[in-house]
Structure 1
Amino acid sequence: MDAPRLDISKPGFSMRSQEVADARAKSWFAYTPYGIAALRYDAVKELVMSPSLRQGSYKWPDHNDTHGVWAQWWKRIMLNKEGEDHTRLRRLGQPAFAPKLVKSLLPSFQALADELISKFEARGECEFMADFAEPYATRVICQLVGLSDENWREFADLAVEMGYALGVNYKRDEARVDAAATKLINYAKALVEERRAAPRDDFVGNLIAASGVGGQLSEQELYDMIVLTIFGGVDTTRNQIGLAMSSFLEHPDQWALLGQNPDLGRAAVEEVMRTRPTTTWVTREAAEDFEYRGLRIEKGTTVHLFSAAASTDPEHFEDGFDITKTRKPHFGFGGGKHHCIGSPIARGDMTEALKLLSQRLLNPRLNGAAEWLPDSGNTGPLSLPIAFDKAL
């Protein structure tokens, strides 16, 4: 079937490029070096729920010819499991991210945001990623899993290093990715040993109870889930908060509106994740031969769902960035049975951060050159220097 071709493996490929927009205008899908990519909103919405597709990101290491520590961990985790194993692991992890727990954590999110802002507020400038996004995202996860936040800097750095595995240069960066994964797995083992010596009724404590004699969670699954919680929570939330600030730098009227109306905080999170999601695509694999919109898709075919392209599809979304508009659901947290298990925590901590930041950092603007991860896979700022006016 005739369709555009997108080389998502080439350095410099951008999900926000005119190339992707042109491909979306021509066809609901494009061919890629790894399979096909769905580009339009309706197609992504339907395919993310399709019973003919399974989670496909488990093949990401194979696509990159990588086989090290991170690759093995990636294939074991809940994200890449199907059927009974996925259901079991998701059930065991779900209570840690329940709405009731999120509500109980909101005061600590607010206190942490206030503490961090207070450290640089008087200067009228900051390196937003280093001074706020990284410590905030990391210390939130430290609180969740019961790690001391004295070492938050190391956890943040390890999450950055592991995050390179999700970019188009994974093969090149495999050694640094594996070194970081090894360190986090060792931290998880030490945390479990410490918690077994001094039990606590919390997220890790519940996982340990599930891994006991006759339990449903193996020792390896226990470590893997802790590492997934740390990596996923730190890497994606840090990136998404950075992308939020970057988006508002481009739309100062919206930032002022949020500062005046903090109840728009949740809507601000959703609009940022619609237009600038850190996870720019999710991956599925055909579990059987099937046909979709006239395209024959064979079993084993990789199907990328371009969430960033879908959620800006002009057929369903007006151009622009507006936190007051009611939009269709985005795919920033994936969808279907593999919808991000940690989304309630992420939505909660980002909402509180943006509410307070918009009230304390007025008229923010870029204050130097920003550095970025590749604009594909998982993306976000590595550095984002800003200046701002202090609130009276």
Structure 2
Amino acid sequence: MHIDLVDRDIYANAGPPHDQLAWLRANSPVHWHEGEPGFWAVTRYEDVVHVSRHSDLFSSHRKLALFDDLPEDQIALQRLMMLNQDPPEHTRRRSLVNRGFTPRTIGALEQHIRDICDDLLDKLTGEIDFVTEVAAPLPLYVICELLGAPAADRDKLFNWSNRMIGAQDPDYAASPEEGSGAAMEVYAYANQLAAQRKANPKNDIVTKLLQPDEHGETLGEDEFDLFVLLLVVAGNETTRNAASGGMLALFDHPDQWNRLVADPTLAKTAADEIVRWVSPVNLFRRTSTTDQVLGGQEIKENDKVVVFYSAANRDPSVFPDAETFDISRDPNPHIGFGGGGAHFCLGNHLAKLELRVLFEQLARRHPRLRRTGEVRRLRSNFINGIKELPVTIG
């Protein structure tokens, strides 16, 4: 089989190449993928988890966690972001920001998220684009709430996130420089937020993160700016694309939509199955810190190693009937939020809460929702994204 896991046009046309990923998982689970530079493609669940949980062997810091290789000066700046750090520095930073994402803190947002969903659904009528009218606004409203920012800022956050993630998509950015420009605008926005909270503290995550922890540790200015950048992208893109991809999966599997309509409490397990099935983040990159063996392959120090969550989440050795979309799947040990270890998704509780409430309310309030047009996908091998999903409110 011809293997090309990089070509963004493949993803734009049909989403992740599941046929290639399945072949690799069965025949060459740690596969040398030609390219400039070449890389090891890791597709089996067991191996993806191993890479994820051993930051000492597979570094996010050396060459960053994103797929594309950057110039050394850009790498130096990006290393300030948690996403691109290894323990112990990552551990210190994570302990500071964890304060805003405890299960108790996130659980307290449920009624607010329910109100946001109801407000969004109240406005739906006729034919709409599910992405721009439902999937995108929900996490943006929630991020504004977390940041203590006015809801009117959500359009700015949406624009910044699109420009940073969609640099290779003609609808969102003409060049990587535009993505860098969006990042600089987020930094300025974060600085403004920090100045406002230092002058007038509020009961929000920004105020909490700017205060010293129990050990007197605080986030530096660059650290705070980069955290806001990560929140704007990660907190928006994953939930937005899980929601739109989940809605598409329910349209493609009408029996599952009918089950959800009949019993909206299934939204709790449906949220996890949607994340497994969609895998909104397709891949992350690591760099081998030593000569080692993975999946029977000899990997050299500094080799590029790329884990594919879209493949691991359909590994039949872990998921019975892995190619079946089942909203009642339980247990569901998917790794749509990462394979564990230092970089397990900070916002996983928040994302699952948003998805659970959204699909519960959709099933209750719009049981006759139906798809009425072609899906348009994001041209990205990183984010499994949907740009447009036309639907009609029944």
The TM-score normalised by the length of structure 1 is 0.89
Q: What are the superposed Cα offsets for residues 234-275 of structure 1, whole Å, 9 maximum, x if unpaired?
A: 122111111111111101221121122222212111111111
Distance in 2 (alpha carbons) for counterparts of 1:65 and 1:295: 26
Q: Is 2:329 the counterpart of 1:337? A: no
Indicate conservation of the 8 Å contact 2:288/2:301, yes or no.
Answer: yes
Change (3 A) 1:135 1:68: farther
Instruction: After TM superposition, list the pairs within 5 Å mapping 1:125-274 onto structure 2.
Output: 125-165=127-167, 173-210=175-212, 215-274=217-276
Distance 1:56 1:310, change over 3 A: farther
Q: Give me the CA root mean square deviation.
A: 2.7
Q: For the structure 1 residues 52 and 68, does the alpha-carbon distance in structure 2 shift closer, same or farther, using more than 3 Å as the test?
A: closer
User: How far apart, in 1, do the equivalents of 2:62 and 2:117 lie?
Assistant: 33
Alignment of 1:1-392 (within 5 A): 6-14=3-11, 15-32=16-33, 33=35, 34-50=38-54, 51-55=56-60, 58-59=63-64, 63-65=68-70, 74-120=78-124, 123-165=125-167, 173-210=175-212, 215-317=217-319, 318=321, 319-334=323-338, 335-374=340-379, 376-389=381-394
Q: Which moved more, 1:107-116 or 1:171-180?
A: 171-180
Displacement of 1:57 in angstroms is 8.7
Q: Distance in 2 between matches of 1:352 and 1:73?
A: 37
The letter for the 2-side match of 1:267 is: T
Checking the alignment, whether the CA contact within 8 Å between 1:55 and 1:338 is kept in structure 2 is: no
Relative to structure 1, the CA distance from residue 19 to residue 53 in structure 2 (aligned partners, 3 Å threshold; closer, same or farther) is: same
Calculate percent identity across the aligned residue pairs: 27
Determine the C-alpha separation between the residues in 2 that align with 1:263 and 1:355: 7
Judging changes above 3 Å, is the alpha-carbon distance between structure 1 residues 375 and 177 closer, same or farther for their aligned structure 2 residues? Answer: closer
Separation in structure 1 between the aligned mates of residue 318 and residue 143 of structure 2, nearest angstrom: 35
Partners of 2:169 and 2:3 in 1: how far apart?
16
CA offsets, 1:288-335, max 9 Å, x none? Answer: 221123211111112111111111123333121011122441111112
CA contact (8 A) 1:166 1:377 kept: no
Number of aligned positions between the proteins: 382
CA shift in 2, pair 1:166/1:233, >3 Å: farther
SS at 2:368 equivalent: strand
In structure 2, distance between residues paired with 1:323 and 1:62: 31
* The 10-residue stretch of structure 1 (165-174 or 344-353) with the greater mean CA deviation from structure 2: 165-174
**Paired residue type of 1:47:** V
What letter corresponds to residue 256 of structure 2 in structure 1? Q
Mapped partners of 2:111, 2:230: distance in 1: 25
How many angstroms does 1:375 deviate by? 5.7
Separation in 1 of the partners of 2:284 and 2:168?
11
Cα displacement (A) at 1:5: 7.1
**SS of the residue aligned with 1:296?**
strand
| Contact in 1 for aligned 2:61/2:79 (Cα 8 Å) | no
Q: Return the alpha-carbon distance in structure 1 between the equivalents of residues 17 and 170 of structure 2.
A: 15
Displacement of 1:28: 1.3
Deviation of 1:189 after TM superposition, in Å, equals 0.7
- 8 Å contact kept, 1:161–1:180: yes
> Which is further off, 364-373 or 94-103?
364-373
Alpha-carbon separation, structure 2, partners of 1:312 and 1:93: 32
More helix by share: 1
The structural deviation recorded for 1:215 is 3.9
Cα separation, 2, equivalents of 1:312 and 1:383 = 25
Tell me: CA distance 1:17–1:62, structure 2 relative to 1, closer, same or farther (3 Å): closer
Q: 1:337 Cα deviation (Å)?
A: 1.4
The aligned amino acid for 1:49 is: R
Q: Secondary structure at the match of 2:31?
A: strand
Once residues 57 and 360 of structure 1 are traced to their aligned partners in structure 2, the CA distance between those partners, rounded to angstroms, is 49
CA distance in 2, matches of 1:20, 1:237: 23
Asked if the contact 2:87/2:342 (under 8 Å) is kept, the reply is: no
**CA contact under 8 A between 1:145 and 1:204: conserved in structure 2?**
yes
Q: 8 Å contact 2:166–2:172 — kept in the other structure?
A: yes
1:31 partner letter: W
- Distance in structure 1 (CA, Å) of the matches to 2:48 and 2:66: 23
Letter aligned with residue 13 of structure 1: I
**TM superposition shift of 1:188:** 0.5
Do the aligned residues in 1 keep the contact of 2:290 with 2:300 (CA within 8 Å)? yes
Give the secondary structure class of the aligned counterpart of 2:202. coil
Letter in 2 for 1:77: M
Q: Which amino acid aligns with 1:28?
A: P
What is the distance in 2 between the residues matched to 1:172 and 1:290? 40
2: CA distance, partners of 1:289 / 1:167: 36
For structure 1, which runs of at least 5 residues remain unmatched after alignment?
none
- Aligned-pair CA distance for 1:129: 1.0
